[in-house]
Amino acid sequence: MKIEISPDYQYMTKELFDIPRMFDEEQGEIVYSGRNLVCRFTIQGIPVIAKRFKRVNFFQQIAYTFFRSTKAERAFRYAKIFRERGIETPHEIAFIEIKEHGLFTTGYFICTACPDPPAFPYLVPKEDYDKELAKDLITFIISMHQKGIIHGDLNFGNFLFRKSTSQTHYQFQVIDINRSVFFDTCPPKEICLKNLSTLTHRRDLFKFMVREYARQRGWSEEETLAHTTHYLEKLEQKHQRKEKIKQLLKK
């Protein structure tokens, strides 16, 4: 087992070594269970979030062992880059890599817990969405882009938000950052628009946010919306093809 712990959290070393065992014994509170498993633990009185990434296949084992960083390591390293560029994200605590027969199989990323809720339930309900929250989120995404950050999974579930009585705008923390891409300056326009295409499939909300993005950046709203909608439709077509293949394989 390989483990790297942030200097600020060395005092948790003993407990962090036990994270894989605690997952195996189903300890902790499950926050999310799907492709990956996310649990909340308390270590020395501090609430932490631990994410166990899906076990990789054989070809991925080769790639992650010899050619590229694991998702767990990238999540750990990228958190510092986000903060250095002025974008809030939970503080990295540690990452763990498990190997079998010399090959990487499973990764864990541990970070501080954030009590703020994700934006998704407030932006994609059956009733009207929160336009103020949508506008502030677009302003935040523009800030990320202008600081050279392209989030690799730009969706409402990966933005935690809060607003105190003394604040006039919502504040955000971003999570699930391991697939992000960094630029020295603001990325080219097409890259930014393609990034926006994963925000939501809800068309009225999508149009509102893309138009707001264009307005704040001084771009043509119609042209920006047309380009971004094109990328969204390509994503949806790709998803539909995958679903058809899955259905055929089930027969």
* 243 pLDDT tier (thresholds 50, 70, 90): confident
The average pLDDT across 17-32 equals: 96
Other beta carbons within 10 Å of 85? 14
Burial 34-58 (b: 16+ CB within 10 A, else e): eeebbbebebeeeebbbbbbeebee
pLDDT above 90: residue 127:
no
At 239 the pLDDT is 87
At 245 the pLDDT is 84
**In 3D, which of 94, 95, 119 has the Cα closest to residue 107?**
95
At 134 the pLDDT is 96
pLDDT above 80: residue 166:
no
* Cβ pair 153, 35 in contact under 8 A: no
The per-residue pLDDT for range 168-203, each reduced to its tens digit, is: 899 999 999 999 999 999 999 999 999 999 999 999
Q: Is 120 left (phi over 0), alpha (psi -120 to 50) or beta?
A: alpha
Integer Cα distance of 139 and 82 in angstroms:
16
Crossing angle between the packed helical segments 189-196 and 131-146, to the nearest 10 degrees: 140
Q: Specify which residues 174 forms β-bridges with.
A: 159
Backbone angles phi, psi at 115, to 5 degrees: -80, -10
